[in-house]
Structure 1
Amino acid sequence: MNSYGSNWRNYSLIGSLIGSLATWGESSWLLRRSQLLGAILIALLLSLAPFVSTSTLGIILLGIGCLWLLLTLTEEQKFSSGWIDKLVLLYWAIATVATAFSPVKSAAIDGWIKLTLYLMFFALCGRVLRSPHLRSWLITLLLHISVIVSVYGVRQKIFGAPQLATWNDPTSPLANKTRVYSYLENPNLLAGYLLGAIALSLGAIFIWRGWLRKSLAVTILLVNSACLYFTDSRGGWLALVGLLGTFSFLLYYRYYRYLPKFWRYWLIPLVIGAIAVIGVIAFFRVETLRLRILSIFVGRADSSNNFRLNVWDAVLEMIRDYPIIGIGPGNQAFQQIYPLYMRPNFTSLGAYSIYLEMTVEMGLIGISCFLALVGITFYRGISNLQRLIKADNVEGFWLISAMSGLAGLLIQGIADVIWYRPQVNTLWWFLVALIASFDYTVRGSKT
């Protein structure tokens, strides 16, 4: 594969552009500090994401994309990429083909531009996060920003907040209950944003040194978890369970060789049993939790379920008519085609499932590539975790956190459509880039 990548660079027009400005890059004072500049731009995006408009974030993403492009053109080393990078490139290529064959090209081009900016963000993160120092700095920044978001959300729970939409079933006993949304103005979006922060705060507990910093990580974890609970997001709750389960399993894997024989066999069953007991007690004692969980299983009797089922019926018909390469990327393309299939009075911004969304946008080819990307990302994460375990390197906990965060977002995405928003989409690609960056990271020092 490396030989193929080298040949591609030597004989393709695009490949020949890589490094074409290397001489100029060597003399540029700014580009010699590209790692720091990239980290500053990423930090700016992470800092502002929950608080500013989508258009403002788009401008920052454009700046990030321009920097990545400039770095690529001034790259001195030979072109190289890991499996994750290759599949991301293939994913972008499929989106490009879907745009070219879209029945609504102008709308699809808009979605393609947004996707391209997200993938350039991934590419720059993949470069910057190779530095352990910058990696730690950016994650610490993200965690502190998440606390600001969560504290405001908890405040909404305590003092109340106007509900910006009908988020609860009007016929439910919870119809008038406050669902917090903080600065993100949507409970499900807030839950998705907090999943990544919760996962990274779990890793910080093991990586940050000193009881003061570890206590801070625990505080961040508790505040973010409380805020996520107060969103009353069913998908967010289930995603949190999946996140914690993934983290626990990988943590068990991390310490397996240190465990006595008894705990090697019984630790996971005992933990699962304890969680089940706590869950059952909470289910019967906490009315909000009980009613929200039960509403998942009442089918169309719940207005939220009924809405999703009607949207899914229409989306499946769209997939049937555009099965191979889809209608083109982006919610604007979706909104132009969806009215031709929708049930009366069930307008929607998206498919309410990331898997259906990608299938309708980029067809069976696109969703297959995405699932392959997910699989390879976890495979590379596990492979690099094994290497870091052997080196006794605590940086492996960031890998555990990233994989756990991805698992949570994938679970929430089963029945939600929040990935259109940059606050969650950039977080997804940040976690993927965090895993990909370890393909290039030196083993580092032991604990």
Structure 2
Amino acid sequence: MNSVWQTLTLSTLPLQQWLNASYVHYLVGPLRRWRRGSRLTQWADEIGGALVMLVFALAPFVNNELVAVLLAACGAYWILLTLSEDGQESRQLENGLALAPTPLETLRERRTPLATPIHLMVLLYWSAVSIATAMSPVKKAAFVGWQKLTLYLLFFALVARVLRSPRIRAWVITVYLLAALAVSVYGLQQWFLGTTALATWVDPTSPLSKTTRVYSYLGNPNLLAGYLIPAIAFSVAAVFVWQSWMQKALAAVMVIVNSTCLALTFSRGGWIGIVVAVGVLLLLLAHWWSIYLPRFWRKWTLPIVLGTAAGVVVLAMVVVEPLRDRVGSMFAGRGDSSNNFRINVWMSVIEMIKDHPILGIGPGNVAFNKIYPLYMKARYSALSAYSILLEVILEAGIIGFTCFVWLLLVTINQGWNALQRLRQVGDRDGLWLIAAIASLFGMIAHGLVDTVLYRPEVNTLWWLMFGMIASFYMPKQLEVRSGE
């Protein structure tokens, strides 16, 4: 059974040897002579990191067109780096030059391969979506969505490359956390000073109809909640990773401010997402520290922490009436207008899937808007499927959905394997990895009932999680030797 799981998750795939023996190998490096003569070569990853940081610094505050330009620049830069790659790291891995046991300082600076099983699955998913685009009943509209997805996947490739450096990884995370803090502070200002809703986000017959739902610079409370889920996970990790007391105090402030702002979005999907993210975060943190704890605390730390967290949530629901009403609306079925809207959209999307089950209709909201009016119920227009699972099946069919689920399995498995290795050597960067895994679970949970995952502010974070987990990858044979 274990061998089947390792095969399914590509844990034992000799990826580097396969790449070196394939025609793909010849696509890498034709510009290496130019790169060797360039004075910017030694700053290649730093420049890439600056582009990534620019995306996260500006995404919440600028329009989507500018974000698209930045993503295109990131993609073009990754292509340039790939075409000029000299292959030295690949040859070292292939020849076993880096297989000797190393101390933690050397292990932290060792670069992982440029290609990982996660890259392979991303390529497979992109291929499935490309086929769906080519076979779409609305090809021009689907091509627009295909272009957007391609930009995000190129961004993932650059992120996975530059985040192999612990220093650049720390800077990217810091920039995102500072941007999220600014977003949350403005959200709290909206709560205390009041703000006008830009859309009807609450059932007008609900007791919460006059309650302020903060949306900060993002213009939508559900989108804001999706943006803050990773911010909370990473700010918790920062409390333990950052070393000075001033840094730890700043991280603690981030945890409080981001959590409060997310709560004040009154986004039920966001609340589901953060509960899942925090649950996974606590589980992984308990696992991380279990080797340092006495036997009693190894057994009871997790139940105590989870029980306390659950008690705080229940107490908040009992004491805070708006929170109690909002949570209760989750179980109101069609009695809540928001629930009723989503259910009607889901039913229409299922009918669309039945008519396009294998390859779907192609990616993107433009393709969706071309097909959905033919199936929608009266008065229930929508911009997307309001569920990531239905969205993927509709866009790429069963084939693409299978590739998507496979990508998730491989990514989570690779993240777990990397976490075990980092835990063994006591590398604190493993806490960033824990935050990335927890954020991924939280964003999936939120995406099951909402559509925010496809907005640039959140989608860039979605691929950041995949890229960060990929940046910790180490080939199986290197894992074994380093642990000897």
Q: Please classify the TM superposition score into its range, dividing by the shorter chain length.
A: over 0.9
- 2:146/2:364 contact within 8 Å kept: yes
Contact kept in structure 2, 1:350 and 1:357, CA below 8 Å: yes
Residue aligning to 2:321? 287
Contact conserved, 1:10 with 1:16, CA < 8 A, in 2? no
Which portions of structure 1, spanning 4 or more consecutive aligned residues, are displaced by more than 6 angstroms?
none
Structure 2 counterpart of 1:271: 305
Matched, 1:338 2:348: no
Once the two structures are overlaid, the 10-residue window that deviates more, 261-270 or 190-199, is 261-270
* 1:50 counterpart residue number: 60
Return closer, same or farther for 1:17/1:273 CA change in 2, 3 Å cut-off: closer
Q: Which residue of 1 aligns with 2:147?
A: 113
1:274 CA displacement: 2.1
Give the secondary structure class of the aligned counterpart of 2:247: helix
User: Are the equivalent residues in 1 in contact too, given 2:281–2:435 (CA < 8 A)?
Assistant: yes
Residue 28 of structure 1, aligned match among 21, 34, 38: 38
- 3-state SS of paired residue (1:329): coil
Question: For residues 15-414 of structure 1, what are the structure 2 equivalents within 5 Å?
Answer: 15-77=25-87, 78=90, 81-414=115-448
Distance of 2:48 and 2:474 partners within structure 1: 17
Cα deviation digits, residues 95-148 of structure 1 (max 9, x gap)? 111111111000111101100000000000011100011111111111111111
Q: Deviations over 1:400-430 (max 9, x none)?
A: 0101111110110010001221100000101
Distance of 1:4 and 1:240 partners within structure 2: 35
Aligned residue in 1 for 2:449: 415
- Bigger CA drift: 277-286 or 403-412? 277-286
TM-score by length of 2: 0.88
- Equivalent pairs counted in the alignment come to 442
Counterpart CA distance in 1 for 2:307 and 2:239 is 24
Q: Does the 8 Å CA contact 2:60/2:457 hold for their aligned counterparts?
A: yes
Conserved? CA contact 1:22–1:73, under 8 Å = yes
Q: How far apart are residue 262 of structure 1 and its match?
A: 1.8
- Cα distance in 1, alignment partners of residues 114 and 435 from structure 2: 26
**How far off is 1:366 after superposition?**
1.3
1:297 partner SS: coil
CA deviations 1:368-414 (Å, max 9, x no partner) are 21111112111111111111111111110001010111111011001
Whole-Å separation in 2 of the counterparts to 1:308 and 1:208:
42
Deviation at residue 7 of structure 1 after TM alignment: 5.4
Asked if the contact 1:84/1:377 (under 8 Å) is kept, the reply is: yes
Give the CA RMSD over aligned residues. Answer: 1.7
**Percentage of identical aligned residues:** 48
Look up the match of 2:106: none
Point out the more displaced range, 34-43 or 158-167: 34-43
Distance apart, 1:236 and its partner CA: 0.7
What is the distance in 2 between the residues matched to 1:282 and 1:2? 48
Assess if the C-alpha contact under 8 Å between 1:51 and 1:183 holds in 2.
yes
Give the TM-score, by structure 1 length: 0.96
> Conserved in 2, the CA contact under 8 Å of 1:2 and 1:80?
no
**1:301 CA displacement:** 1.0
Q: Give 3-state SS (helix, strand or coil) of 2:458's partner.
A: helix
Q: Which amino acid aligns with 1:120?
A: L
CA–CA separation in structure 1 for the residues paired with 2:401 and 2:423: 33
Which is worse superposed, 261-270 or 120-129?
261-270
Q: Secondary structure at the match of 1:306?
A: helix
